[in-house]
């Protein structure tokens, strides 16, 4: 892959039931996923996901979920446009993640021990996790002539990011998350070359309810 590193900007805007007294959250949503691989400059596609999380303490959230995505890309418009390679890829990604809330603002009128709101109005966190990834690339255009399906279709990925949560009410939370995923493969787009210096990288944006 010609891009040796991608600085993160994958925004997740999250809207899900607040934890209240049971300290749990369930969310689902859809958005976009973007892949930087060996074909073209950037592949783009659709992402759908769902998750469940709980708070073992006020500072940590543990989340388990699953993402499903479809991505496509081509050499069109890139410096390798004469190769005329193109692809589409399906991804299924179960994920386990830990979020650490390193900053909290309780806000005016809310007490840390009060009954009105039992969590901070605004908080920020960092996150890290682990994810097995199943992917299935399909060749398009000139890639159909040279495509060799001789690589594993299962890999692992490490999602890392930052995020912000805003409590809208006792039952609803609005959040934003920036995240990048770094898989242990260079074949998400079904292609690699002798000039590739790093594995593929992908990131996403989505809205959750």
Convert the pLDDT of each residue in 14-44 to its tens digit.
544 544 455 888 888 788 899 999 999 999 9
Output the pTM of the full model.
0.80
**Contact, 63 vs 52, CB < 8 A?**
yes
- Residue 129 has which token pair? 């996790």
What percentage of residues in the chain have a pLDDT greater than 90? Answer: 54
Q: Which residues of 86-105 are buried (b: 16+ CB within 10 A; e: fewer)?
A: bbbbebebebebbbebeebe
Q: What is the Cα–Cα distance from 134 to 112, expressed in whole angstroms?
A: 43
Q: Where do the domains of the chain lie?
A: 28-208
Q: 28-208 has which fold?
A: Porin (2.40.160)
Residue 10: pLDDT over 60: no
**pLDDT tens, position by position, 41-92:** 999 999 998 899 999 988 999 999 999 999 999 999 898 899 999 999 999 9
Comparing CA positions, the residue from 62, 68, 24 lying closest to residue 49 is 68
Residue 80: left (phi > 0), alpha (psi -120 to 50), or beta? alpha
């Amino acid at each position: 892959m010609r891009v040796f590193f991608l600085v993160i900007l994958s925004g997740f805007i999250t809207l899900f039931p607040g934890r209240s007294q049971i300290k749990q959250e369930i969310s689902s949503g859809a958005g976009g996923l973007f892949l930087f691989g060996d074909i073209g400059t950037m592949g783009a596609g659709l992402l759908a996901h769902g998750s469940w999380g709980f708070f073992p303490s006020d500072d940590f959230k543990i989340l388990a979920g699953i993402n499903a995505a479809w991505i496509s890309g081509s050499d069109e418009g890139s410096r390798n446009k004469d190769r005329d390679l193109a692809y589409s890829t399906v991804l299924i990604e179960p994920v386990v993640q830990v979020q650490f809330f390193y900053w909290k603002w309780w806000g005016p009128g809310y007490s840390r021990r009060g009954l009105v709101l039992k969590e901070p109005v605004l908080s920020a966190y960092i996150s890290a996790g682990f994810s097995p990834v199943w992917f299935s690339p399909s060749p398009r255009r000139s890639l159909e002539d040279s495509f060799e399906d001789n690589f594993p279709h299962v890999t692992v990925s490490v999602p890392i990011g930052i995020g912000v949560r805003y409590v809208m009410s006792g039952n609803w939370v609005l959040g934003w998350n920036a995240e990048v995923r770094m898989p242990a493969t260079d074949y998400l787009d079904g292609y690699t070359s002798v000039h590739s210096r790093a594995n593929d990288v992908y990131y996403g944006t989505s809205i959750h309810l």
